[in-house]
């Protein structure tokens, strides 16, 4: 893994250094998200992500979202769609409400620049060529120049539900106007390896072009995946898994498992969840610190992974580097 791509980069508009690990909030799967957010917001000192959809429908209140040093404001595409992300363990029925670009922009106009804010472009339901995605995003972002821009790149056709990496690399010059380039984890490939390889390819192309734009992986906050994708060149990670699992020493477990193994089996399930959420925020902060220490020292021990996990990472990178050498 000598050619790993993990390093400190920054969101230039604010000089915000990466890596950035973002606890996300959403009404999708968490209908009591406002109560949850209000309880946890004093602990959201570094970063957080909320959705314009949730702000519009009152699941979150606009005045309550500015606790973190940097706030990511998503476009509401996740809440509008019925599909669930990779970490969702429930896949319960979900019925979204009406959502469109006009409602999205109405919420952006209500934002207050009292903290560093990064806005994500509108996620259209229909598939469009990458050129059109870029043009639309430029138009939207141009209306809100006070905020940093996070361009969420989407697949271009229903037949191709995965990002066309060659197309992305070909259009890096056009993408360079954005502060951050983002991808949803599940749209980067059909396997961990495919996603890792595609992140590596995009980062290497950016580096070769002299661009240090951060890469944002949406829907990924699993600690081991974060480390792998960070080594491949991703910089910013957000997700809801911190609300679905209890993370202990970098390993997500079911809440019941956590309750038993930590001697809080006599507490109500609701109490166990609240305890886990607070502990998970500490775990994410510690994970970020390990990534930073690794970047500064190049000592693999700083990552806090065991020998078996390191061996798997080595195997993944051997394959990635083999593919890269043959291109």
Q: List the Cα angle 137/170/235 in 5-degree steps.
A: 65
The mean pLDDT of the chain is 93
Least confident of 48-52, 122-126, 155-159: 155-159
Where is average pLDDT lowest: 4-13, 180-189, 233-242, 245-254?
245-254
Dig out the tokens for 1 from the structure.
């893994």
Which tokens go with 230?
């960070």
For the stretch 202-229, pLDDT in tens is 999 999 999 999 999 999 999 999 999 9
Tokens at residue 326, please? 């043959």
Residue 90 confidence (pLDDT) above 70: no
Q: What is the pLDDT of residue 93?
A: 61
* Residue 278 confidence (pLDDT): 93
User: How many C-beta atoms lie closer than 10 Å to residue 226's C-beta?
Assistant: 22
Interior angle at CA 17, CA 306 and CA 227, nearest 5: 20
22: β partners: 238
Residue 91 reports pLDDT greater than 60:
no
DSSP state of 97: P
Backbone phi, psi, residue 289, to 5°: -60, -40
Report the pLDDT value the prediction gives residue 158, as an integer from 0 to 100.
80
The candidate with the shortest Cα–Cα distance to 179, out of 139, 206, 151, 156, is 151
Q: Of 197, 190, 187, which is closest to residue 315 (Cα–Cα)?
A: 197
The model's pLDDT over 29-83, given as tens digits with 9 standing for 90+, comes to 899 999 999 999 999 999 999 999 999 999 999 999 999 999 999 999 999 875 6
What is the pLDDT, as a whole number, of residue 89? Answer: 52
Of the candidates 132, 80, 135, 133, the residue with the CA atom closest to the CA atom of residue 104: 80
Mean pLDDT of 301-327: 91
Contact 233, 202 (CB under 8 A): yes
């Amino acid at each position: 893994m000598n050619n790993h791509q993990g390093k400190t980069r920054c969101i230039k508009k604010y000089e915000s250094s990466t890596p950035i690990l973002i606890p996300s909030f959403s009404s999708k799967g968490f209908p009591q998200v406002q109560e949850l957010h209000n309880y946890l917001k004093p602990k959201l000192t570094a970063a957080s992500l909320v959705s314009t959809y949730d702000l519009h429908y009152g699941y979150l209140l606009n005045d309550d979202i500015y606790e973190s040093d940097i706030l990511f404001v998503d476009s509401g595409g996740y809440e509008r769609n019925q599909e669930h992300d990779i970490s969702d363990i429930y896949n319960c029925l979900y019925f979204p409400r009406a959502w469109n670009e006009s409602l999205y922009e109405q919420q952006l106009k209500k934002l207050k620049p009292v903290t560093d804010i990064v806005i994500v472009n509108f996620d259209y339901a229909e598939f469009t060529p990458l050129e059109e995605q870029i043009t639309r995003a430029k138009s939207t972002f141009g209306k809100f120049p006070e905020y940093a821009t996070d361009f969420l790149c989407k697949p271009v056709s229903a037949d191709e539900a995965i990002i066309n990496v060659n197309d992305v690399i070909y259009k890096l010059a056009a993408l360079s106007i954005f502060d951050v380039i983002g991808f949803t984890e599940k749209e980067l490939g059909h396997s961990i390896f495919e996603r890792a390889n595609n992140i590596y390819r995009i980062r290497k192309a950016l580096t070769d072009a002299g661009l240090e734009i951060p890469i944002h992986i949406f829907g990924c906050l699993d600690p081991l995946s974060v480390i792998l994708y960070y080594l491949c060149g991703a910089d910013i990670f957000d997700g809801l898994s911190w609300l679905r699992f209890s993370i202990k020493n970098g390993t997500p477990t079911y809440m019941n498992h956590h309750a038993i193994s930590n001697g809080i089996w006599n507490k109500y399930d609701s109490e166990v969840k609240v305890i886990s959420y607070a502990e998970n925020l500490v775990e994410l902060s510690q994970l970020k610190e390990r990534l930073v220490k690794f970047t500064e020292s190049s000592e693999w021990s700083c990552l806090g992974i065991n020998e078996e996990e390191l061996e798997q990472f080595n195997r993944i990178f051997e394959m990635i580097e083999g593919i890269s050498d043959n291109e």
